[in-house]
Amino acid sequence: MRAKVRAIKHDNKIAFSNHIYRQTGRLIDTHSFYDVHIKRLHEYKRQLLNVLNIIGLYIDIKENPNKEFQPQTFLFAAKAAPGYYMAKNIIKLICFLGKEIENDPAVREKLAVVFLENYNVSMAEALVPAAELSEQISLAGKEASGTGCMKLMINGAMTIGTLDGANVEMLDAVGEENMYIFGLTSSEVDNLWLRGYNSAEFYANNEKLRKIINALNIGFAGESFADIASYLLTGQGVADPYMCLADFESYRTTHARAISDYQDKDKWNRMSLLNIAACGYFAADRSIKEYAENIWNIKRLTDKK
């Protein structure tokens, strides 16, 4: 049964990659690991934290070309309001990083970064069943609920996430051994703001982060992203307002653990199946029943003959 779960996932990856090939002419390696970050583009949802880690992987591959590396495809899709400058800047970073990697023969077999245009329900219908890792990495305290997290979970993706929004209920349902939880809790976030958050300290104390921020300054595919580097380190008003640097090391090591678990196929398949099974709790019927009882104070109509 576990092997069947994996075979279904692989079929879904093929269907998705065919869909993308028809739509864009782009080939996505179905044997790479599908890491999926799909939701509105917003600073609090921290697509930027994901990108920082990808840049770290890219630097790693360049520095250690002979080290074994699980091929990974990072898929982003998002909507951004046309006036949201920072969101568009992050989309641009994702696109240029993807372009540089694609043009580097030493790296493109191992790493791909794709920003899919026009994220909508049809795209989600192809993408969600193909996902192997679901990125739910908002800064703790910011996501009211989220629904994408559950769609990906019921389709057998593992979740890497913070203790935020519905991730908390998912953790209760599936257990911490079947989910990749990382980062500050919302009370730790509050305390860090009160103490005075200084992102530059995290930069100073983490060699990887320094290399990554430096790479942003130099840029990708001929385009500098020094403005994003200074957003993280000095900011206009407050530096790194969504604490990407504070959560970076925890995110990086947790992501690496997920990739290492993925090498153990049977373990991964088992976790995937347990995630699907635990989703029963998120049925709309249960949820609506609780609303009816606890919030709306209404009774169910009994069936009339």
Ligand X SMILES: *Cc1c(COP(=O)(O)O)cnc(C)c1O
Q: Find the helix packing angle between 265-278 and 244-263, rounded to 10°.
A: 110
Q: At closest approach, how far in Å is the CB of 146 from ligand X?
A: 4
Nearer residue to ligand X within complex by CB, 36 or 111:
36
Candidates 89-97, 141-149, 244-252, 292-300: pick the segment binding ligand X (CB under 6 A). Answer: 141-149
Our CA angle for 115, 153, 28, nearest 5°, is 30
Q: Are 148 and 137 in contact (CB under 8 A)?
A: no
Of 110, 151, 252, 255, which lies in the binding site for ligand X, with binding defined by CB under 6 A?
151
Cα–Cα dist 12/132, whole Å: 10
Cα–Cα dist 106/266, whole Å: 30
Q: Any contact of residue 42 with ligand X (CB under 6 A)?
A: no
Our CA angle for 247, 252, 257, nearest 5°, is 130
Q: Any contact of residue 147 with ligand X (CB under 6 A)?
A: yes
- Binding marks (x or -) toward ligand X, 108..137, rule CB under 6 A? -----------xxx--x-------------
Nearer residue to ligand X within complex by CB, 103 or 147:
147
Cα–Cα dist 32/109, whole Å: 9
Q: At closest approach, how far in Å is the CB of 232 from ligand X?
A: 23
Identify the CA nearest to 183 among candidates 201, 205, 167.
Answer: 167
Q: Any contact of residue 241 with ligand X (CB under 6 A)?
A: no
Q: How many residues at the interface with ligand X, by CB under 6 A? A: 10
Nearer residue to ligand X within complex by CB, 78 or 112:
78
Nearer residue to ligand X within complex by CB, 77 or 216:
77
Of 9, 37, 39, 252, which lies in the binding site for ligand X, with binding defined by CB under 6 A?
39
Phi-psi region of 31 (alpha: psi -120 to 50; beta: other; left: phi over 0): alpha
Given the rule CB under 6 A, which residues bind ligand X?
A: 39-40, 119-121, 124, 146-148, 151
